[in-house]
Structure formats: C-alpha cells, structure tokens
C-alpha cells in the first residue's frame, strides 16, 4: 500500500515495481468510497535497478483509500492501493484518533474459600 499526502498540488514520488518494463502513459486514481476516477499528472519517470520511480500530481482527500493504476496504452503495468493521510509516516496508525487505550491497572485476584 502506498501512502500519499492529501490536499496538495505538489508532485509526490511514488516507487513501484511494474508488471512489465514499459513507460507509463496514463495514471488513474479510483476513489473506492465515492467510485470516482481521476486522472493524475506525472513526470520524472526513472527506472532504477529493481524498481521505478515517478512523480505524481493529484489532489486527494484526507483519510480516503484509492486504487492507483498505471497504464502503458491500454495495458495495466502496475496496480496498488493508495491511502491518503496527513499523518507523518513515522507515527502513522490506522487507529489514529479512533482507538483509545484503557488505563492499565495491576492484576488483582480475589481468592474465596481460604
């Protein structure tokens, strides 16, 4: 799963391992909650030893999940889920702001019949 920043018009670097060696000609993002497809702008496509990098420009909604699809013509060369969050990657948590830890208490046992 790829994590991208929401609400930014700046290009963001995406690293991916393509299904086949081919140039990207189109990138689509499908919002899985709204079922809306958006086409992204891209530039700076680089091929490294074992993966490729590309700079993608698209505005995403915070907390949304997208299906990201890279095309070469009509052939799909890469597909992955993308999660958009403004949380820093180092402290990222799916339960951010949702799950609260209960206060911990020491284990206390009551023994009856002694």
pLDDT in tens, 35-92: 899 898 888 788 888 898 999 988 888 888 899 999 999 999 999 998 888 877 677 6
Residue-range definition of the domain harbouring residue 9: 2-86
* Residue 72, in any domain of the structure: yes
* Residue 26, in any domain of the structure: yes
pLDDT of 44: 78
pLDDT tier for residue 96 given thresholds of 50, 70 and 90: low
* Residue 106, in any domain of the structure: no
pLDDT tier for residue 28 given thresholds of 50, 70 and 90: very high
Task: Name the residue among 6, 39, 27 with its Cα closest to residue 80.
Answer: 27
* Residue 108, in any domain of the structure: no
Distance, in Å, from the CA atom of 97 to the CA atom of 114, rounded to the nearest integer, reads 46
**How do strand 2-4 and strand 75-84 relate by DSSP bridges?**
parallel
Beta bridge partners of 84: 4
pLDDT of 97: 66
Q: Give the three-class secondary structure for 91.
A: helix
* Residue 78, in any domain of the structure: yes
Which has the minimum average pLDDT: 6-10, 45-49, 83-87, 103-107? 103-107
* Residue 114, in any domain of the structure: no
CATH number of domain containing 46: 2.60.40.2320
Mean of pLDDT values over 103-108 = 69
* Residue 36, in any domain of the structure: yes
pLDDT of 46: 87
Number of domains in the chain: 1
The structure's pTM equals: 0.73
């Amino acid at each position: 799963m790829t994590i991208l920043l929401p609400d930014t018009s700046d290009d963001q670097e995406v690293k991916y391992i393509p299904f086949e060696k081919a140039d990207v000609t189109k990138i689509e993002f499908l919002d899985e909650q709204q079922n809306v497809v958006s086409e992204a702008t891209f530039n700076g496509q680089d091929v490294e030893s074992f993966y490729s990098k590309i700079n993608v420009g698209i505005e995403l909604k915070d907390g949304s999940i997208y299906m990201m699809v890279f095309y070469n013509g009509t052939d799909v060369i890469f597909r992955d889920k993308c999660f958009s969050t403004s949380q820093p990657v180092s402290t990222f948590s799916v339960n951010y702001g949702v799950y609260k830890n209960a206060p911990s208490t020491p284990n206390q046992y009551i023994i009856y019949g002694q």
